[in-house]
Amino acid sequence: MFTKRIKLFNLLGFPIYIDLSWFIIVVLITWSLATNVFPGFYEGLSSGTYWWMGLAGALGLFVSILAHELGHSVVARHYEVPMRGITLFIFGGVAEMSREPPSAKAEFFVAIAGPIVSVAIAVVCYATFFLGEAAFATPIVGVLWYLGVINAVVVAFNMIPAFPLDGGRVLRSVLWHVNGSLRWATRITSSIGSGFGIMLILLGVFSFIGGNFIGGMWQFLIGMFLRGAAQMSYQQVLIRRALEGEFVERFMRADVVTVPPSTTVHQLVEDYIYKHHHKMFPVTENGRLLGCVTTREVQQVPRGEWDQRTVGEIMQQCADENTIRRDADAMQALSSMNRNGASRLMVVRDGQLEGILSLKDMLKFISLKVEVEEGDSGFAQASLVRGE
Ligand SMILES: [Zn+2]
């Protein structure tokens, strides 16, 4: 979802990040306000003033969005949902939750908190604009007017009941409360989310054909983003349910192909990687685990040196990224794989290799469990499978 994030600071205990894509939207909004919106509504100012107003409007919008996300985050923390932080990016902001809210009630209040903050900002800006129109200089009045309007637009868009938009979350909490099933509620609301995404994509295509290039492209991109997010959220719920109460032990394989450290890189490629089709192999000597070697390390070695260099020289040490304990939570193992782009983890105890955990095995299990217990065979593995 993000390209590259920079951490700005902590606010109320939440880390605040800015994604590089955010700068694109700041420039676009500043430009459109300075050349189009403000000159249209407030005639007769200098072009420098319009640019300052544009920049103030764009930054004001992002302060508003940050406040909106802080609204979600503070309420989520109240319900003890662990928060990863807030990121401002090309489509606005996200407050990332590490797991789903514990109850329908919690979900409702977490979801509604953001729009309530935006309504408050809209009211304050609009009231100040209305009461101060005579007292303040025109540029200030113009920016206040814009912030009042745009925050109202943010609320209106976010309250569309298309998951994962706030309105979709509110609807999900209501359905969850009524029916008792988070899965069912997520399924309905993410279908609406996905449908709404497709609608925006089509709208974008028609706008583009009609000559509105930037607007059309924008609708298209937001549509793609929402559709992807809706589908992913539903799968996340299915995966979490399938892996609930499961431990690494269940998926671990004890028969592991290991590589001695004296193996040359050439031998590793021919006799292990191309033969067993894995990207990672544990390196052992006399039953002792030394580390592991992956295709990534092989890529670093120039082809001419494949016969001289050995696995012992290029291998990685055992670390949290490539190992897991057999009594660890399966969900924890999956997120570690996702984070580190690893398709296999070594199961280790006291420096001894006990077995290997592969993403493939876990996904097969999830897919079967979803099919058997939820009667849903539409679970797409593709979006999850990294590597292997
Ligand atoms: Zn929100």
pLDDT in tens, 23-51: 888 898 899 888 888 888 877 778 888 88
What integer best gives the mean pLDDT of the chain? 86
Across residues 244-271, what is the average pLDDT? 89
Across residues 161-165, what is the average pLDDT? 89
pLDDT at 212: 85
d(CA 369, CA 384): 16
d(CA 147, CA 168): 24
C-alpha 7, offset from chain centre: 16
Task: Say if residues 307 and 268 touch (Cβ distance below 8 Å).
Answer: no
- pLDDT category of residue 289 using cuts at 50, 70 and 90: confident
Q: Is the pLDDT of residue 339 over 80?
A: no
- pLDDT category of residue 167 using cuts at 50, 70 and 90: very high
Q: Is the pLDDT of residue 17 over 60?
A: yes
Task: Say if residues 295 and 279 touch (Cβ distance below 8 Å).
Answer: yes
385, two tokens:
């499978």
**DSSP code of 35?**
I
pLDDT at 170: 95
pLDDT at 374: 67
Ligand 1: distance of its center to the CA of 116 in Å? 9
Q: Exposure pattern of 168-181 as b/e (b: 16+ CB <10 Å)?
A: bbbbbbbbbeeeee
For 51-79, how does the pLDDT look when each residue is reduced to its tens digit (9 = 90+)? Answer: 898 898 899 998 999 999 999 999 999 99
Q: Is the pLDDT of residue 318 over 90?
A: no
d(CA 231, CA 186): 10
Q: Is the pLDDT of residue 168 over 90?
A: yes
- pLDDT category of residue 379 using cuts at 50, 70 and 90: low
Ligand 1: distance of its center to the CA of 29 in Å? 20
- pLDDT category of residue 380 using cuts at 50, 70 and 90: very low
Ligand 1: distance of its center to the CA of 166 in Å? 5
d(CA 209, CA 150): 27
d(CA 74, CA 83): 9
pLDDT at 1: 59
Torsion of CA 9, 331, 223, 81, to 10 degrees: -50
Ligand 1: distance of its center to the CA of 381 in Å? 28
Q: How far is CA 221 from CA 91, 225, 309, 340, 378, in A?
A: 9, 6, 47, 27, 25
Q: How many residues does the chain have?
A: 388
Q: What angle do CA 266, 336, 254 make, to 5 degrees?
A: 60
Q: Is the pLDDT of residue 382 over 70?
A: no
For 108-133, how does the pLDDT look when each residue is reduced to its tens digit (9 = 90+)? Answer: 999 999 999 999 999 999 888 888 77
Residue with tokens 């031998």: 267
d(CA 216, CA 77): 37
Ligand 1: distance of its center to the CA of 237 in Å? 20
Across residues 347-366, what is the average pLDDT? 86
State pTM to two decimals: 0.75
Across residues 297-317, what is the average pLDDT? 89
Ligand 1: distance of its center to the CA of 285 in Å? 54
Task: Say if residues 192 and 162 touch (Cβ distance below 8 Å).
Answer: yes
Ligand 1: distance of its center to the CA of 67 in Å? 10
Q: End-to-end distance of the chain based on CA atoms, in angstroms?
A: 21
329, two tokens:
């939570």
* Percentage of the chain lying above the pLDDT 70 cut: 95
Ligand 1: distance of its center to the CA of 142 in Å? 25
The DSSP line for 269-331 is: IIIIIHHH--SEEEEEETTEEEEEEEHHHHHHS-GGGTTT-BHHHHPBPP-TTTEE-TTSBHH
pLDDT at 381: 45
Ligand 1: distance of its center to the CA of 114 in Å? 5
Pair type for strands 5-11 and 14-19: antiparallel
307, two tokens:
């016969």
Beta-carbon contacts of residue 374 (< 8 Å; ≥ 6 apart): 183, 238, 241
pLDDT at 191: 92
Ligand 1: distance of its center to the CA of 279 in Å? 40
Any bridge partners for residue 253, and if so which? 356
